[in-house]
Amino acid sequence: MTDATADRPAAAAPRPARSQWWDVWRQFKTHRGALVGAAIFLVIVAGVVVGPWLWTYSPGFIDIRARNQGPSLMHPLGTDQLGRDMLARTMAGGKVSVAVGVTAMLLSISLGTAIGVLAGYFRRLDNPLMRVTDLFLALPLLPLLLVMVTLFRESLSGRFGPEAGTFILIVGAIGATSWMQAARIVRSAVLAVKEQEFVLAAHSIGTRRRRIIFRHILPNVLSPIMVSATLGIASAIITESALSFLGLGFPPDFPTWGRLLYDAVDYLQQYPERVLWPGLAISLTVLSVNYVGDGLRDAMDPRIRGR
Amino acid sequence: MKAFRSLLIGTVAAAAFATNAYAARGTDGEVKIIYWQAPSILTPYLSGGTKDVEASSLILEPLMRYDEKGNLVPFLTQEIPTVANGGVSQDLKTITYKLKPDIKWSDGSAFTADDVVFTWQYCADPAGGCAQLAKFEGVENVEAVDAHTVKITFKEPKPNPYLPFNGAQSPIIQKAQFEKCRGANASSCTDANFGPIGTGPFRVTSFRPNDVVTLEANPNYRDPDKPAFATVTLKGGGDAAAAGRAVLETGEFDYAWNLQLAPDVLSKMAAAGKGKPIAAFGSLVERLEMNMTDPDPALGEERSTAKHPHPILSDLNVRKALSMAIDRQLLVDVGYGQAGRPTCNLVPAPELYASPNTDCIKQDVEGAKKLLDEAGWKPGPDGVRVKDGRRFHLLYQTSVNAVRQDFQALIKQWWADVGVEAELKTVDASVFFGGDAGSPDTFQKFYADVEMYANNFDGTDPEAYLAEHTCSKAPRPETQWQGENINRFCNADYDKLVAELGKTADLEKRGEIGRKLNEMLTKESYVVVPLVDRGRVSAHSNTLGGVVLNTWDSELWNTADWFRVK
């Protein structure tokens, strides 16, 4: 009997310590779509970050004699109407688009989570914060962005240079206008979690509110946050495309996936591949990120885990 | 009987000259025209739309038309009245037209001076809502001196008295038909508006608004051999690409109007070989405007005003070098193809006013570098030129438009080659051209160093257009940033010459002054750097002959001369 009890820990010792994140990873691994999505997303990120080091063609260089070329060894994805290398442009564009997507998502998720948690947890703040959310939802997005761009573009460009200034402006504009859905989802999740017994228990032993929020509530509402975060990357990339198209985004010689796509639309019939590459890149990124989000949600929800 | 006889003579003549292009009236069957915007009415007086003006030009005629070079050609008058032949009075306040005596309306009645007078009364009626009122601006009276003489009196001396009754926008309508349609009744006169009686080569047989017009040869047309076609079908609707295809690829139609298509698309269609695109050029010029004032934001309210000259662009040689670095032919190839040609002129046409200035067309990178070196701009460590610690950095803005963004990228690279750094900026077209004094992004405010857009002038006379560059027309805070002198060019000699143009009636002399003014803005100062003369492209089938594309009048101005190539 004593032997047996002594044996058991010894037998378990080779196994690594089980943590929550280890469980999440084990569960995540079983979701094949999520795994493939994560792999593709990593490849894309690696491609746009490392790619320009390997493919040293400048995305802005105009070689007018080589315009409208199909794929070749010189230009694996062909050239555009001014003879600029499409591979270099797709990579440079991806760097901007992915950076805008991820940064704007982080901003909008932090904002949305903060507002959602505050509204859900503190009853007094609920009404005003949710009305503010409604207000933002009711605002027409594009005119608002137009005003923001008109007001701040020049001062930001002056302070940080045209590219960094526009980056800050676009990320700020997208972040500030896309947190509302996340705030609503988080609020409803917080409302449900905060009435559960373990929160009551934490309360009764005198845990401070801040600690309850960070230790008990946030981890339990993480899965909806994750899902809206992944969706947020996708919609941020698409919003940036729309802004570039209206001339409110980056300077025109600064490629992004959205701009490449819109530039190519005029040549859809003659050179369909030119729409294909940036379109494929946007779709793949959005799709893979969504799958990752899906897998994460399944993996992080203890009630689904193991099924 | 007479018509039959002339038909007979015509047929005989046609048989005799079968190899020649001439044919008798109505012997060439049907001609099919496609306008991708459908006409909704057949008089230009109730609609300013190009489609309506041009459709009605098959039926209605003005006293004189403009030909493809912008020169006046008498249609219903015997000659062009001038000061020299006494048609225009010495004080430039009256003009007298002598009408051709034997012109008939398509219903057989005689065309007289009363019809001309009536046309003015019809349009000038304040209750009528005439769309072409601008053509009659400054007209005090129109009177019939006798049955075939019309005298127009102006309130003030008019150096260019040819606006009323000339060109497709102000044709003569029949008094008998429109008499009851004056004032408030104008738009309810459906029969007259949809089937006007005219003096032109064709008359309406049926009209379905916003769809199709069918016409037949006017039996009373003044030239018994014309028109060669018996019927015309003018179909409206669709889009430019479909219209182009219908003429160039499938051959369903004979003529397609205004094919605004990318050069690649058009040349691919033309490769099918059923027809050919034709281009004609008006006065629309895509240009760079150099800011003569300093747009530095640090200047606050005074930025981009005459108080602060531009720190870089005030130097003539710098502006000239920026122009020399540009390959205009390449811009045309990339952006407009057949619908454009390189130009150095702000006023590229009509011929009378077009300066023979072609210095800028050849790109000269080395020359540009040399000029910049001489101007004191030396290459810095990163290749961008520097002078007195200032980098040669320009903010180059334009509206959002695919072709313009391509131009921006190309010009940025050419400027980089000569050591000039350009920062590109695009503004939504509705904001850029919106003229809102509260927006910092309008082309009038010009909070940039260089900007690019296109502009043209109405009609064939550039006086008002050239007068836009006088000192007093500069946009500034006191004018709520309104004004046409976009680059704030200011030259007392220029202003003096513009005033002189306003007093000159002699066409030759006007042309001379106009050309000089154009050169003062372009090759003498490089304040305006013209890039591309943008034309219009239409297409006709290989079997349609006699087409002369005209941007000064209706495209259908000479349908009487069209014929079937056999």
pLDDT digits (tens, 9 = 90+) for B15-54: 444 444 456 888 899 999 999 888 888 998 887 778 888 9
What is the pLDDT confidence band of residue B529, given thresholds at 50, 70 and 90? very high
Domains of chain A by residue range? 30-51+87-300
Mean pLDDT of B115-144: 88
Rounded distance, CA A95 to CA A50, Å? 10
Residue B472 C-alpha, separation from nearest chain A C-alpha, in angstroms: 29
- Taking contacts as CB-CB distances below 8 angstroms, the residues of chain B near A269 are 265
| ipTM of this complex prediction, to 2 decimal places | 0.71
Is the predicted pLDDT of residue B343 greater than 70, yes or no?
yes
Choose the CATH number for A30-51+87-300 among 3.30.420.590, 1.20.1250.20, 3.40.50.920, 1.10.3720.10: 1.10.3720.10
Averaged pLDDT of chain B:
88
Q: How far is B402 from chain A (nearest CA, A)?
A: 7
Burial of B325 per CB tally in 10 Å (0-12, 13-18, 19+):
buried
Note the pTM of the prediction, 2 decimals: 0.77
Chain B: closest CA distance from residue A196 (Å):
53
Option in A81, A162, A247 nearest B423 (CB): A162
Token pair for residue B285? 């010029």
With beta carbons less than 8 A apart as the criterion, state whether A245 and A252 touch. Answer: no
Instruction: Tell if the CB–CB gap between B409 and A252 is shorter than 8 Å.
Output: yes
DSSP β-bridge partners for residue B293: B309
Contact B535, B341 (CB under 8 A): yes
Quick one: closest CA in B to A255, which residue? Answer: B409
CB contact under 8 A, B399 and A68: no
Q: Do A251 and B425 touch (CB under 8 A)?
A: yes
**Tens digits of per-residue pLDDT, A178-193?**
899 899 999 999 999 9
Run of H or E including B7: helix B2-16
Using CA atoms, how far residue A267 sits from A251, A260, A263, A274, B56, in Å, is 21, 11, 8, 8, 36
> By CA distance, what is A61's nearest residue in B?
B413
User: Which residues of A lie closer than 8 Å to B, measured between beta carbons?
Assistant: 60-62, 64, 67-68, 81-82, 84, 146, 150, 154, 158, 162, 245-248, 251-253, 263, 266-267, 269-270
Nearest-Cα residue of chain A relative to residue B266: A270
Within 8 A by CB and 6+ apart from A26, the residues are: none
Residue with tokens 């109505």: B26
Kindly write down the DSSP assignment for every residue of B239-303, as one continuous string: -HHHHHHHHHTS---SEE------HHHHHHHHTT-SEEEEEEEEEEEEEEEE--B---GGGGGGT
d(C-alpha A256, C-alpha B163), whole Å? 51
Model confidence pLDDT, tens digit, residues B430-460: 788 877 778 888 888 899 999 999 888 877 8
Cβ-based contacts under 8 A for chains A and B: 62
- Kindly determine whether residue A82 and residue B330, on different chains, have CB atoms separated by under 8 Å: no
Amino acid identity of residue B229, one-letter, is F
Between chains, do A270 and B402 touch, taking CB under 8 Å as contact?
no
Q: Quick: pLDDT tens for A51-81.
A: 888 888 888 888 877 778 888 888 888 888 8
Please list the residues that pair with B399 across neighbouring strands. B427
Which residues from B are below 8 Å from A154, CB to CB?
297, 440, 447
- Where is pLDDT greater, at B546 or A82? B546
User: What percent of chain B is predicted at pLDDT more than 90?
Assistant: 51
CB contact under 8 A, A263 and B402: yes
